[in-house]
Amino acid sequence: MNVPKELFYTKEHEWAKIEGDTATIGITDYAQHQLGDIVYVEFVDAGKEVKQTERIGTVESVKAVSDIFSPLSGVIVEVNEFLKEHPEMINQEPYGKGWMVKLKIKDRAEIQSLMKADEYEKYIKEESK
């Protein structure tokens, strides 16, 4: 399982890459494996203000429909429109072209509530027992 060390993670299997006051958000390699082939995505619109853990989108796979939750509070500044035509990119590059939204962070203190890579690796090992 690919768990990049520079990212932050949630128990719902979202990741956040923090660059200045912006977080790029997607679902983890573990999550995309669990879902199987992703066939459809839908996200909230850019400009929407969201709170930490609020629903920001949905992914539909051949196995299930899953909500995506924001790891942090802030304003959605960009949505990956490419995924609407190519949702399979989430399976192929969950940490690259498969990113979902970019968010302008409202409260940097919330970053402390996210898991670091080693914590997330332990979490998924426990979850998959």
pLDDT tens per residue across span 47-106: 999 999 999 999 999 989 999 999 999 999 999 999 999 999 999 999 999 999 999 999
Determine, yes or no, domain membership for 120: no
Residue 126, in any domain of the structure: no
pLDDT over 80 at 129, yes or no: no
pLDDT at 44: 95
Total domains in the fold of the chain: 1
pLDDT band at 1 (very low <50, low <70, confident <90, very high): confident
Nearest alpha carbon to residue 73 among 45, 95, 54, 96: 54
In the block, tokens 């199987």 appear at 36
Round to whole Å and give the CA distance between 127 and 59: 21
Per-residue pLDDT tens digits for 7-48 = 999 999 999 999 999 999 999 999 999 999 999 999 999 999
Q: Is residue 118 part of a domain?
A: no
Q: What is the pLDDT of residues 115-124, one digit of tens each?
A: 999 999 999 9
Tell whether 15 is covered by a domain: yes
Q: Can you tell me whether residue 122 is helix, strand or coil?
A: helix
The CATH number of whichever domain residue 90 belongs to comes to 2.40.50.100
Domain region containing 74: 8-107
123 part of a folded domain: no
Classify residue 125: in a domain, yes or no. Answer: no
Residue 127 lies in a domain: no
Token pair 């996200």 is found at 43
The answer to whether residue 43 is domain-embedded is yes
